[in-house]
Structure formats: C-alpha cells, structure tokens
Copies of this chain bind each other. A is one copy, B any other.
Amino acid sequence: MRATVIHAPHDIRVEEVADPVVRQPADAVVRVLRACICGSDLWAYRGESARQPGQRIGHEFLGVVEATGADVTAFAPGDLVVAPFVWSDGTCDYCAEGLHTSCPQGGFWGSVGSDGGQGEAVRVPFADGTLVKLPADAASDDRLLTALLALSDVLGTGHHAAVGAGVTRGSTVAVVGDGAVGLCGVLAARRLGAERIIALGRHTARTDIARLFGATDVVAARGEEAVAAVRELTGGHGARAVIEAVGTEQSMRTAVGITRDGGAIGYVGVPHGSGTGLDLSVMFDRNIALRGGVAPVRAYIPELLPDVLDGTVDPSPVFDLAVPLDGVPGGYRAMDERTALKVLVTP
C-alpha cells in the first residue's frame, strides 16, 4: 500500500510500504477513508520534534475495518470506525478512569514500528480498546464523515482544554490559538454552555470560523496588546477560563496574562517553550490553576459523538483544504505556510 513517510525535516513523501496485517490477536486492520494533517505534525515537519528517517506520520483517521484478530469481539470487517490519536488497551486502570493516554500498553500512531494515519490502511493494536464504531450510513455523507474525523483529535482536544479550563454554563472563556484545536476549543466551550467566548486571532478566515463556532468576541492582537484587550472586555479582570492551544512561550504568557485571578488555564498546546511562559510567582499570587495535557480523546468520543451525528456540533469547517494521498506533501507545505488551516486527506 501507499503511506506517508517522513525522511527528514521538510522531506515528507508518499511511498509504497508493506501492507498492514493482523499480527496480534487483538489487532484490526482499518482501510482509511479520511485522514488529516495536524498542527502537531508540523513540529516534526519543521524538525522541532525528532523523528527517525522513515517513520510513518499522521495520527488522525477513520475508515472501514478490513480484518480482525481472533481476540477482537467488538468489531467485524465492514464496520465504520474512528480511531483516537493514541491506541490503548481499554482494560487497565487508566483506561477505566478515562485517561487512555496513560495506558501502559498505549502508543502513538506513527511512532517507530507502527503505522501512521496518513496512508491507505493502518494496523490497529488493541482494536477493542481503541476504536469507536460509527453508524454505517455516515459513510455516504461526505460532510458528516469529515466532521466525524475531528473526533480522532482536534474536537476531543478542544474539549479537553475546555474541561481543563473549567468551562461550565455561563462561563467567560478566552481562547489563545486560532488553529484547528483552538477553534474546536471555541466549539467545545459553546457546547458546555459558555456565555462569552473571546477568540484571539489575527487571520480573518480563522476568526470567521471562530465566530461560526460560537465566539462572541474576537481580539486581533498578540502579546501585551492582546492581554490589554481581553482585560478591557472583561471589566479589567480577565477570563475565568482560558484555553491555551499553541504551546509556545508567548502563547502561555498571554494565557496567564488574560486569566482572571482564581481562574484556570486549560492547556493542550504541545509544550514547545510554553514552560518558560509560565511565571509561577504570578500564578501563585493570583491563584491561577493549570490543567490539561495530552487529551484522552478516546474517553470523550462517546460523549461527543451524538452531538456530531445530529449536527449540534459541526467541526468540519476547520478542514479548509482536501487532498488525495499524493497531495499530502503539498498539504504539509500549505499548513506550514499557513495558507491552509487543516488539511483533509482522502486516500
């Protein structure tokens, strides 16, 4: 089959690789219908996260089960399924409590020796613990299929950020980051009943989606200027719930600056300098909490799925460019140059 392989920074290729097969009794093989490129894939693309030459890449996909191992009981060939961005055994204490990302047997798609999502098919370890079944008729609804793909990462990650930030009915929320995760944070905050959602962003195409997703205010500024603007919008105090969906020093500094005393930052931006943006003395004096991390999206899919299926929540607008598998390298370039927000891949 053909799959995406990263050979070096900026050297992403689609090439012939071995067909995935059932190796362990708990495995399934999934034929990919939809995959996509994540903002976090860009860290590898830019060489800021290390990869071994030849590693697969891509961690978001949905598709059709093609084969199952002897121990797989929840799925059969032909089932439409979505995969969260980590696999997990579904049986350990962490999986039981909804923290699938800490499963000792879990792992990331595209890690050494595993398949990535940006290919024609994927071997899925611990299929019963990992995959979630989707209604078969969704396969014929192009818009819905794209929306459901967001369950593999960005929608669940946005939800994790909103939960970490403590969003509840009536909350005032500010969102740092206008990428797909930040925008899904807006969507998740609205879903949780936030009354006021302030989106920070300077790209109209993105802030238009933020407004579509429920943002009530847009702050088109960065750094100190953004902090001042959010404070002005919130009676001088800042927002009680803040979503940090970037991971850089500046984004975290901004997040701290716009959080109301006693509030919380829900952080889901993979840390690339953001630790340095945390001034613990400021957070201490102002009782600002920090909660988040890698999102256990497997735990959230059952909760979010019904709302995506009935259209209450529609994250599909975050995908603003669609490419076939051969178009993946161009898709990385487009996201790296910020001409695309999030690239859909249809193998």
Interface residues of A (CB under 8 A from B): 93-94, 97, 99, 101-102, 164, 237, 261-262, 264, 267, 270-271, 274-275, 278-281, 283-294, 296
Q: Please, which residue of chain B has its CB at the minimum distance from the CB of A237?
A: B93
B287-A292 in contact (CB<8A): yes
For A270, what are the chain B residues with a Cβ–Cβ distance below 8 Å? 284
Q: Chain A contact residues: over half helix, strand or loop, or mixed?
A: mixed
A99-B275 in contact (CB<8A): no
For A293, what are the chain B residues with a Cβ–Cβ distance below 8 Å? 283-288
For A275, what are the chain B residues with a Cβ–Cβ distance below 8 Å? 278-281
Q: Please, which residue of chain B has its CB at the minimum distance from the CB of A291?
A: B289
A94-B289 in contact (CB<8A): no
B102-A262 in contact (CB<8A): yes
For A267, what are the chain B residues with a Cβ–Cβ distance below 8 Å? 284
CA of A26 to CA of B237 in the docked complex: distance in angstroms? Answer: 26
For A296, what are the chain B residues with a Cβ–Cβ distance below 8 Å? 287
B294-A285 in contact (CB<8A): yes
CA of A289 to CA of B284 in the docked complex: distance in angstroms? Answer: 14
A289-B289 in contact (CB<8A): yes
CA of A267 to CA of B283 in the docked complex: distance in angstroms? Answer: 11
A166 to chain B, nearest CB (A): 10
25 A-B pairs (CB sep. < 8 Å)? A93-B237, A94-B261, A97-B262, A99-B262, A101-B285, A101-B287, A102-B261, A102-B262, A102-B286, A264-B291, A270-B284, A271-B281, A271-B284, A274-B280, A275-B281, A283-B290, A284-B292, A284-B293, A285-B293, A286-B293, A287-B296, A288-B293, A289-B289, A289-B291, A289-B292
CA of A289 to CA of B268 in the docked complex: distance in angstroms? Answer: 12
CA of A185 to CA of B237 in the docked complex: distance in angstroms? Answer: 30
CA of A291 to CA of B279 in the docked complex: distance in angstroms? Answer: 14
B292-A291 in contact (CB<8A): no
Given contact pairs A270-B284, A284-B294, A289-B289, a sample of 10 additional A-B residue pairs in the complex whose CB atoms are under 8 Å apart: A94-B261, A101-B287, A102-B286, A267-B284, A271-B284, A275-B279, A283-B293, A284-B293, A287-B292, A287-B296
A290-B289 in contact (CB<8A): yes
A51 to chain B, nearest CB (A): 17
